Structure formats: structure tokens, C-alpha cells
């Protein structure tokens, strides 16, 4: 079963799937790093992004990659508004409240989607959905390769923002010392909302890269959210490089786990990683000790 002609494509499959996981996890890790909260609505917001891409394609024939131009700013604005108007206000300054607010948001978003969009699974058919690229004997779909490139680019852009801009410095300052940042004049609420917005912008990008190779239904968020949490825990909460490495690692482990243990049992590898990291290195591969 484990001939090289299967192992090599399985490795590439794992890496490309991992890139998509990483892209989804980027937003999660940013929000955690700054706001110190786990955003339970992450999966539901990804689902909203996927529907946006789907409807743009269906009604206006907007190519999913062109839709990036609308989705990234659109999701950013949604994220900013959500944090400013709903999460920030609803939490009354307590982190545990934020957990509940995001959990509530996810339930509301999911059920609204079920009501307005229906429960059916929808897909889009683009000219390149089934197009293949041959990489040293392994066939990969064009959307997968594009998603990997997109994930790496997003990660690089985020790194640049964090390292080179005032916004990035402010975000890092708040992540490290919220009170201190406020004392030196940083508008903490604004930066919180910016972080949430950037996190959702990443989700918007992920939705554009994901839909040509996947499907959307009101429950689709659940398919990815647990894996995204695993990636964040593995990479280290709040670390972008960690997200990228974690995403690739989880993708490859899932791919080989599936190959060796069967696709059903193969998922076990992902959760073994989750538990092992929590037990032996709770801060993750690239995380800092709190």
C-alpha cells in the first residue's frame, strides 16, 4: 500500500491541505494573541465567507480569486464592526463573557444561514476546478496549489504588518501588556477591533481559496474549526509562523494517518497531537510562555 507513487502525492496533498488549515488558523491565532480569547464563531464566520464567495459567483459570475478584492475588505469591515458593536459591548470587559458572546454568535449565524440559505450543499464549477498540475509525478488540483500560494502570501503580509507598521506595533504592545499600551495612548478598543477585522480578513481570503475545491453548507464551519484549533495549539497561540508550520504538520499527519490507518481512524493523529502538545508543551511549538 505504501509505494512511493502514493507516498509522494500523499505528502503533497497533506502540505496543500495544511496550507488551507494554516490560512484558517491565522485569523484564530491573531485574535487569540491580541484579545486572549478563543473565537468560537470562527467556523461560522468562515461559512459566511464561503457563502459570500458562492453568491458572488452565482449571481455576478465573479471568479473566486477576483472575489478576494471584495471578501478581504468586506470581512475586515464585518470583523471590525462585530468587535466594536457586539463582542466588545456584550463582554463588559470580561474575557469569559467574550467566549459566551462568540459562542452565541456562532449559533445565531449558523441558524440564520440555515433559515435563509437552506440546508443544501452548494458548490461552484469553475473552468479550473478540476484542472491538474503535475509536480514530479503527483497530480494536484489547481485550486489546491493556489490555496497554498495564497496561504503563504497571507502569512507574509501579516508578518509585514505586524513587524513593520505602527498598527502591528500597537497590536503587539496590546498583546503583551494591555494596560501599559493604554497608558501610552494606544486606543485599545480600536486596535482590538482592527485585530478582529484582520482575523476575519484572513478568513475571507481562506473562503476564496477554499470554495473552488470544496463545498459550502450552513454546517461547513464545523468541518474546519476543530482542525484550526489544533493548528493554533500546535503552532503556539498567537504565533503566525506557528500557524503555518502547525497547519502543514496537521495536514501531513492527517494525510499519512489516513493512508496508514484508514481515513476514519487516521484522524486520530490530529487529536493525538492536540493532546500531546497540551500535555508536554502547552505553549505550542512557537508560542511564548505566558
The residues that touch other proteins, with contacts defined as CB under 8 A, are: 1, 3, 5-6, 9-10, 13, 17, 111, 114, 118-123, 125, 130, 132, 139, 141, 214-215, 217-219, 222-224, 227, 254-255, 258-259, 262-265, 267
Bridge partners of 132? 141
Would you say 125 or 166 has its CB closer to other proteins?
125
Q: Which is nearer to other proteins, 34 or 109 (CB)?
A: 109
Q: Least separation, in Å, of the C-beta of 100 and other proteins?
A: 20
> Residue 67: what are its φ and ψ, rounded to 5°?
-60, -20
Output the smallest distance, CB 272 to other proteins, in A: 15
CB 106 within 8 A of CB 41: yes
| DSSP, res 129 | T
Instruction: Please provide the distance, in angstroms rounded to a whole number, between the alpha carbons at the two ends of the chain.
Output: 45
CB of 20 to other proteins, least distance (A): 9
What phi, psi does 68 have (nearest 5°)? -50, -40
Q: Which is closer to other proteins, CB of 168 or CB of 266?
A: 266
Distance of closest approach, residue 121 Cβ to other proteins, in angstroms: 5
Question: Which CB, 7 or 81, lies closer to other proteins?
Answer: 7
* Nearer to other proteins (CB atom), residue 13 or residue 102: 13
274 contacts: CB under 8 Å, gap ≥ 6: 229, 230, 233, 234
Q: What share of the chain is helix, strand, coil (3-state, %, to 5)?
A: 75, 5, 20
CB of 42 to other proteins, least distance (A): 16
Amino acid at each position: 500500500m505504501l509505494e512511493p507513487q502514493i507516498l509522494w502525492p500523499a505528502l503533497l496533498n497533506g502540505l496543500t491541505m495544511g496550507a488551507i488549515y494554516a490560512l484558517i488558523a491565522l485569523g484564530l491565532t491573531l485574535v487569540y494573541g491580541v484579545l486572549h480569547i478563543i473565537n468560537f464563531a470562527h467556523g461560522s464566520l468562515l461559512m459566511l465567507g464561503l457563502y459570500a464567495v458562492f453568491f458572488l459567483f452565482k449571481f455576478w459570475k465573479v471568479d473566486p480569486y477576483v472575489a478576494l478584492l471584495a471578501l478581504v475588505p468586506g470581512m475586515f469591515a464585518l470583523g471590525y464592526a462585530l468587535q466594536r458593536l457586539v463582542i466588545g459591548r456584550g463582554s463588559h470587559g470580561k474575557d469569559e463573557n467574550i467566549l459566551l458572546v462568540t459562542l452565541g454568535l456562532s449559533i445565531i449565524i449558523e441558524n440564520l444561514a440555515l433559515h435563509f440559505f437552506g440546508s443544501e450543499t452548494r458548490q461552484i464549477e469553475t473552468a479550473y476546478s478540476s484542472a491538474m498540475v503535475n509536480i514530479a509525478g503527483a497530480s494536484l488540483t489547481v485550486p489546491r496549489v493556489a490555496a497554498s500560494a495564497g496561504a503563504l502570501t497571507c502569512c507574509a503580509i501579516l508578518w509585514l504588518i505586524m513587524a513593520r507598521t505602527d498598527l502591528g506595533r500597537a497590536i503587539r504592545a496590546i498583546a503583551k501588556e494591555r494596560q501599559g499600551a493604554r497608558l501610552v495612548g494606544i486606543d485599545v478598543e480600536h486596535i482590538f477591533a482592527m485585530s478582529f477585522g484582520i482575523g476575519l480578513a484572513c478568513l475571507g481570503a481562506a473562503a476564496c481559496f477554499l470554495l473552488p475545491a470544496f463545498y459550502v453548507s450552513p454546517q461547513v464551519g464545523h468541518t474546519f474549526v476543530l482542525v484550526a484549533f489544533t493548528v493554533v495549539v500546535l503552532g503556539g497561540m498567537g504565533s503566525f509562523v506557528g500557524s503555518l508550520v502547525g497547519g502543514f504538520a496537521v495536514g501531513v499527519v492527517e494525510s499519512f494517518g489516513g493512508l496508514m490507518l484508514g481515513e476514519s481512524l487516521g484522524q486520530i493523529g490530529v487529536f493525538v497531537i492536540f493532546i500531546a502538545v497540551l500535555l508536554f508543551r502547552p505553549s505550542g511549538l512557537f508560542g511564548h510562555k505566558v
